[in-house]
Structure 1
């Protein structure tokens, strides 16, 4: 015996120009043309001779077409779904098992927002209740907060449409996409069926700030709010987008557990399409592997999400490197030891690649060893700026180890001291392919904020993978700035406290020889505006030590 239930609702005009489907073809208002000849087809998933109303998943695939249509919207009693290509898969749900009739409004939008609409009834067998363990995993006793598991290889990637190998064609390495607007997003599957996307989880303290940026596919991401963000090949970085709340539904077409987000809801990387995320694997605690096909029908995109926040940066630290292999204690007055250091001199090309304002010299007024310290002094001289930069290139280069530098930093707006390392093969493997490890950077325009950053392909310039911490006495007291560098991770510390951990992999350039660099720059892309009253300030270094 069939159990019928009809869910009816009224569809109101969504724009001031909305018209109904029975209008004459080619209605126009100047250059504004209403879509016409709106046709809709419905395919019930799992429908066959033995199952005339489908397989019980409640999923129906809709295909809409219309003349002069730019995009389509499918409206059900439970959700709304945009479909620029006119194709949408919609799961219908019910508290009870049975065969139900659902009415769906289909809207075709043309130029100027004018629309044409129609409705279609579908009769569907619904016999699916999400497993209790899946619901527990998604939202627990109320809600959980999920994020892209950026520290895990393959957390974002792509493969063929319909593929079953995660990130078969490309998988991002750990933290590879830092700085593009994805890793600071958070996703909440609420127990009431709503889905909340926080587009920047770092700006809500002390008050909520809904603004943020997201990451997506060129062309497709314009569905969110028109053009925006920064184009990089087929990607759009840091597309401005605010927090939002839509609905989500769980279904199992063909037995594959699937999360469908309403409207333009998405996870990780905006790909358009059906906004359906098939759960490929949920066997790992606090982790889901999801996949979705993009709106172009070109790829399946893969994501690993986790409900665990990253391990706290301020974790306990025990070094694995205890053998001192190189050091300079700066105990001999005069110029730096030539057996340890060579100079970079002059203005460099384009201000050393960062539009810096200083010229580097080997003058004792800019660099000298005295009173048990190396002193690098940036000075204003006749409207120009001088400073020094020294390095161990071709004298001491190494792979893996712990570097410790005890230093007191200069101050003053425009100063930019750095303790860093550069891949020794940079002359044949041009930066950023050679890699760069910035152990410590500080800018006087943000006094007492210490930065550590890694640069490598895809993460050069302002897209470096970076973290920061505060040192209240950075310019008045000595502190130990160090890095612990292994094949598996790179940890940055101040006074033996870790504040930044980067997962290293064989695919990164951080598995070959690097050399040390010490310098004080002035101004530039990171140093910023120089105080017109600036005269001089000094970076003092007590020692540099390397352990393996």
Structure 2
């Protein structure tokens, strides 16, 4: 059953349950009249005297009307099609002339309905070749994804263009973190299409609104990380005008929502385990191009894979004193950022429990401050140069909290900041809990410099656990979110990132990135599952 139908039927069942079960309460729905006088007008595309069953495309348009109806459903060849206005366009793809029984349902108020059955006899002169079907679903099913690692996996061009991604072509992993690369599309041999969104999707502003109110980040003409659940539709292949086309029913889509026909031209299928698709958007403005693949996604190829240091927080109580020490107090001018918290080493603010390190920021009057928190560091206990650091963590969600997983040069006590260099593996603004930030800071003898930072939107809510990773070499600093690269920085001998650094974990309150603290804030925590260093 399709998502849109589930919502519709659940609403009907809920209303009927109230109507039948709550005997002591009167509910008024207005006058409930069963739909009647259902009429179905059928138009077989290309039908004429010489072609009584149509032009072979298998396309049939239905127009349904009924008195007292507020919506309709048509069931054809085992596939359900809902419609509010009663207009349907259906492609029949079984080769030859075939007669199809069509069930037409008209729905009225409170879910009452009427049904009639009609039929249509139509010609389809195209049958998907066996090699295409084998490629798409094999013996039962195959899982597909956007081939994000390949240049040109997503892009656009003119309507009717024949040059893939002629006007814009995404580079490898360019759209990491916007809600597209974690999508999975499963084609089943029975014609079922299952779409796994990972919680968020990517689409065109003004068109993705067809799926519901905007819930993601509007970035220019794009909507990033639009919250959307997994759904199921149907798929079929036909060849209008001789062009093989992959069709998805209702609001089904691939990769980037553009509305329109939901029919994707199969532009090229020569490459093994790949399809090159294009579709015209609902504004008739662009053709959008996609490369999808059934190959399993390969994770990053890291340089450093020898585990040399870790803390898995396996012993409840206080953090291991052989690995962690603390910054305490308010620092200078709120640690240089106008922060509002007082850092302590109390169990109220930092503890190890159930295999996790928990850093808790609290609202409380303490030593002249209104908030307390904790800031742990490995300074003097574990300093290292180069390597890969993995930190699995869950971030606080309260406005005004500023969690950070970061590193400072070990010469900080003698040269100060920013001469020592700073690498922010993860920071999060207090007013944006769907994004994280990576930055490098240094001084170039003329003025402080910030590396060109990247803002990435989480694959799903940052209140879930995510993996924050840095790989740091003499040539580069790469930072990943859930093994997806989103920050790259070229290291060189003139920068301070070629010496020992130490780790720092903290939750600040307010300040330059924390911003305005929620007036109702009481406490919130950053939870760290583990930290591992590889060299």
Q: 1:482 aligns with which of 472, 475, 481?
A: 472
Q: Name the structure 2 match of 1:168.
A: 166
In structure 2, do the counterparts of structure 1 residues 62 and 406 end up closer, same or farther at CA, with 3 Å as the change threshold? closer
CA distance in 2, matches of 1:520, 1:213: 31
For the 8 Å contact 2:375–2:504, the answer to whether it is kept is: yes
What is the aligned counterpart of 1:273 among 260, 279, 288?
A: 260
Residues 186-222 of structure 1 deviation map (CA, whole Å, 9 limit, x = unaligned): 111112222221222xxxxxxxxxxx23333445445
C-alpha spacing 1:57/1:440, structure 2 compared with 1 (3 Å): same
Query: TM-score with structure 2 length normalisation?
Result: 0.54
* SS of 2:141 mapped into structure 1: coil
Distance 1:217 1:523 in 2: 35
Q: Can you list the C-alpha shifts for 1:382-424, whole angstroms capped at 9, x where unaligned?
A: 64899999xxxxxxxxxxxxx8269999x9x987352499xxx
TM-score between both structures, scaled by the size of structure 1: 0.53
Aligned ranges for residues 42-53 of structure 1 at < 5 Å? 44-45=44-45, 51-53=51-53
Question: 2:92: which partner in 1?
Answer: 92
In structure 1, the partner of 2:213 is: 227
> How far is 1:309 from its partner?
2.2
Is the 8 Å Cα contact of residues 89 and 274 (structure 1) preserved in structure 2?
no
- In structure 1, stretches of 5+ residues that fail to align are 1-12, 18-28, 201-211, 319-343, 360-379, 390-402, 422-436, 444-450, 472-479, 534-540, 544-548
Which residue of structure 2 lines up, in the alignment, with residue 54 of structure 1? Answer: 54
- 1:311 equivalenced with 2:298 (yes/no): yes
Q: Please say if 1:523 is aligned against 2:507.
A: yes
Alignment of 1:52-91 (within 5 A): 52-61=52-61, 74-82=74-82, 89-91=89-91
Deviation at 1:262, TM superposition (A): 2.6
- Aligned partner of 1:245 in structure 2 is 232
Matched, 1:196 2:182: no
- Measured after TM superposition, the shift of residue 269 of structure 1 is 2.4
Partner of 2:249 in structure 1? 262
The correspondence for 2:386, drawn from 391, 401, 404, is 404
Residues 48-447 of structure 1 mapped to structure 2, 5 A cutoff: 51-61=51-61, 74-82=74-82, 89-94=89-94, 97-104=95-102, 122-200=120-198, 212-224=199-211, 226-233=212-219, 234-313=221-300, 351=337, 383=369, 404=386, 416-419=404-407, 440-441=425-426
**2:418 matched residue in structure 1:** none
Equivalent residue number for residue 329 of structure 1: none
Structure 2, unaligned runs of 5 or more: 1-7, 16-28, 306-330, 344-365, 378-384, 396-401, 410-421, 429-435, 441-450, 526-532
Q: CA RMSD in A?
A: 5.9
- Change in Cα spacing, 1:154 to 1:61, as seen in structure 2 (3 Å) is farther
In 2, Cα distance between equivalents of 1:93 and 1:189: 17
Residue-pair matches, total: 396
